[in-house]
Structure 1
Amino acid sequence: MRTTLLAAALSLAAALPAAAQQAQCGGSWSDFVEGVAQEAIAQGRDPAAVQRFTASLRQDQKVLAADRRQGVFQLDFTTFARRLISTSRLQKGQQMAREWASTFDRVQARFGVPPGVLLAFWAFETDYGAFQGDFNTANALATLAHDCRRPELFRPQLLAAIQLYEMGDFDPARTTGAWAGEIGMVQMLPRDIIENGVDGDGDGHVRLKTSAPDALMSGGKMLQHLGWRAGEPWLQEVRLPAQMDWSQSGLNTTLRPDQWQAMGVRPRSGQWQAELPASLILPQGHKGPAFIAYPNFNVYFEWNQSFTYVLTAAYFATRLSGAPVFEPGTPDTGLSGEQMKELQRKLEARGHDVGGIDGILGAGTRAAVRAEQARLGLPVDAWPTRELVNRL
């Protein structure tokens, strides 16, 4: 169900030479396709293969519509988590953990990624492979590369798809996936498949749509490539004191567990998991659920850039690893999409960069909320309320 892009691909695009980043986009579709073909041939692809691949490329307006429609990320963490994490999905995950136990053992031994982490992605991305998307991948990538919003991201992925086709692991007519071009059970973009694909079942191919061993091994390798640290935790639920310096919360502050403990923060169950620098995460403010995020948590943002998605995936990974259901607390009522847009307009009027008026509580909006909460003497926990809107 991926609705944002792999940030790994963003970092790859950022590393490209400046000329490559200024990808051609827009204009005549035929001229665009011809330009892609010429670039692929210049990269060493077989001209006949390139011609076969590009001959059938078509624009897909449904892809553009999906790219501009991401309202699910307007939901708060508790609502989003309850929508995605059902009893049946948890039970299915436990079943898949048993069914593919030997593969998960190989993934953990080779890449250091625990089963729960991959199971959570497998569940959220495709419901354990059941729903992998029905967009024609070649057309989706071409459409998004032609669109001038992010050509520097999608043009390299389209070229990578041509390379996969030449390798025999991509069919431009039949390969389908998510609207943003991700393929397979754990949804990887073509360039990520080339760089991190693993033949987990030994058949000589990397087929993420039909082979669970290929998908899980490839997902594990990609997480390791993105910085996953073996043997370390990623998220732990905590309980908070009635009062503390709420401005210490957020991903920009990291403290040792003994420092959090000195402030009155306690693990909900058991002991602190590790003596690692960690951040206090309050997705719905100081009255809502609370988590300590360890360094591995940051790797989730290399897979997906939505804070709500990332926290939910990380939390579900802990559930699949034996953690209890989180305590929802009694957070102040959040804002609707339109109310959030009203807040963003007011924040922009005060000179804050919120990253656009989209009704989504993203990093820019959270930072602006914190600044205004501090100015107004409100708890600095990055959770926007109607009171904040009114006082602005």
Structure 2
Amino acid sequence: MPLRKSLALSLLLPAALAQATPGDDFADCLDRLRGAAQSAGVSAASYARFTQGLQADMSVLPLLDAQPEFTTPIWDYLAGLVDEQRVADGKARMSEHADLLRKVAARYQVDPAAVVAVWGVESDYGRITGKRPLLVSLSTLSCYGRRQAFFRGEFFAALKLLQQGDIRDSGITGSWAGAFGQTQFMPSTYARIAEDFDGDGHRDLVGSTADALASTANYLRKAGWREGQPWGYEVRLPAGFDPALAGRTKRRAISDWTARGVMRVDGKPIPDIDSRAAILMPAGKQGPAFLVLRNYDAIYSYNAAESYALAIALLSDRLRGEPGLRTPWPTDDPGLSRAERKTLQELLLQRGYDIGKADGMIGDVTRRAIQEEQHKRGIEPADGRAGQKILKALQGG
């Protein structure tokens, strides 16, 4: 899962805490962190209790440089996150929790569809919240690899949440990076933003859907969400548009963009609301383009990756009943939905590949099987990617 903003504390840790390397003793590292943890508000007793028996998990280190938001083609990333199944499930959740969402919207002035879209992308509506023990991941990343200061701040924040009773299970699991709960907050974000919306005396983003959705709305509000405004629009750019004008931070008045010939793809006028906007071209001149407003920035702050923010934005549109993208991605091999990925795996299993269960999750074993089939069928590049070409080839026999 993506990394959230760190506590300011992570910038103030003692310089004497030299970075550890995989050859250093993990227990020694935890011992060195004890004093800094106490300075951060973790009692000696709590530190001893919650770190007792922790063992490093070195498998999290390669994941620092393998975040899908930055390593996956955007058409693959969005095909799996904004598919028909997630849209249908999201609409069902909005109906199921309609009363709760009305109350959340009334208190935080944030669009319910945006809140539910975050829920859907982050954990598939609470179904997938991560299997890695939170304290193991954060303590390992506090001692090894890049960004140790950041992860130490998050490790100490998690210990404080346990100490205070916000988290009541020291074996709680989450992502490899320490995000957890139904909408995947990092511990420092949890400490600052989480809300006890159900009124039971605990901020529980794991077991309480009310707390999770309210806390997400609170995050977006604090990130600058503007009630009643859209996140943006898919647009058509004029011929000869200068790509150098595009970029999330290159903002102009909406009237400036429309004067240059920028138009919504659906032909509707772009309201000249009191806001500056930016143009995004995530796949270059040939792909979809977007005019994004301040609410897009609020989404982007949740996880600073353009593909992630677009997934939330586009899913929220679909949850409101709006159509999907009108401009195709510039590829001759579009990505697969989760249902299509599962079908692909079933076809590989039928051909004798030992790839485990067909679950729609494309891992290294499935990729190797795909690559072998690509070689056999002369599909180039034989890169192990799960796309429409290999799926259709396998469906054809």
TM class, shorter-length: 0.7 to 0.9
Q: Give RMSD over aligned pairs.
A: 2.3
Shift of 1:251: 2.0
Matched, 1:141 2:138: yes
Q: What CA distance in whole angstroms lies between the structure 1 residues aligned with 2:15 and 2:83?
A: 41
Query: In the TM superposition, what are the counterparts of 1:152-231 in structure 2 within 5 Å?
Result: 152-171=149-168, 173-231=170-228
Shift of the 225–55 alpha-carbon distance from structure 1 to 2, 3 Å rule, reads: same
- The match for 2:382 is none
Count of residues paired in the alignment:
328
* Rounded Cα–Cα distance in structure 1 between residues aligned with 2:300 and 2:236: 24
TM-aligned CA distance change 1:44 to 1:312, over 3 Å: closer
Which residue, 239, 242, 253 being the options, matches 1:242? 239
One-letter amino acid of the counterpart of residue 55, structure 2: R
Structure-2-length-normalised TM-score: 0.76
* 8 Å contact kept, 1:25–1:32: no
For residue 134 of structure 1, report the CA deviation from its aligned partner.
0.5
- Which residue is 2:288 aligned to? 289
In structure 1, C-alpha distance between the alignment counterparts of 2:102 and 2:17, rounded to whole Å: 42
- Residue equivalent to 1:306: 305
1:124 pairs with 2:121: yes
Tell me if 1:268 matches 2:265. Answer: yes
Q: TM-score, normalised by structure 1?
A: 0.77
Unaligned ranges ≥5, structure 1: 335-392
Cα distance in 1 for residues equivalent to 2:177 and 2:329:
36
Deviation digits for residues 157-216 of structure 1 (CA, Å, limit 9, x no counterpart): 111111111112335642001111011000001111111111121111111111100111
Aligned sequence identity (%)? 31
Question: After the TM superposition, which residues 352-371 of structure 1 pair with which residues of structure 2 at under 5 Å, given as runs?
Answer: none
The change in CA–CA distance for 1:330 and 1:318 in structure 2 (over 3 A counts) is: closer
Within a 5 Å distance, the mapping from 1:32-43 to structure 2 comes to 32-43=29-40
Give CA deviations for 1:131-171 in whole Å, capped at 9, x if unaligned: 10000000011011111410121101111111111112335
User: What is the identity, as a one-letter code, of the residue corresponding to 1:318?
Assistant: D
Shift of 1:40: 2.6
Q: What SS does structure 2 have at the residue aligned with 1:291?
A: strand
Q: CA deviation at 1:291?
A: 0.9
Q: Which moved more, 1:157-166 or 1:29-38?
A: 29-38
In structure 2, the partner of 1:369 is none
Give the Å deviation of 1:91: 0.7
**CA drift at 1:332:** 6.9
How far apart are residue 45 of structure 1 and its match?
Answer: 3.2
SS at match of 2:252: coil
Cα offsets for 1:55-75 (capped at 9, x unmatched): 122201222233343356333
CA-CA distance at 1:33 after TM superposition: 1.0
Go from structure 1 to structure 2 and tell me whether the alpha carbon gap of 1:293 and 1:23 turns closer, same or farther (over 3 Å shift). farther
Change in CA separation of 1:130 and 1:106 when aligned onto 2, cut-off 3 Å:
same
Choose the corresponding residue for 1:5, options 3, 6, 24: 3
CA–CA separation in structure 2 for the residues paired with 1:173 and 1:29: 19
- Structure 2: segments with no counterpart, 5+ residues: 334-397
Q: 1: CA distance between counterparts of 2:263 and 2:138?
A: 46
Contact 1:239–1:267 under 8 Å retained in 2: yes
Measured against aligned partners, the alpha-carbon deviations of 1:273-332 in whole angstroms (never above 9, x if no partner) come to 452211111111222111100022122332112222222222222222232111234637
Question: For 1:278, what is the secondary structure of its paired residue?
Answer: strand
Distance 1:207 1:304, change over 3 A: same
The equivalences for 1:369-384 within 5 A come to: none
Change (3 A) 1:170 1:256: same
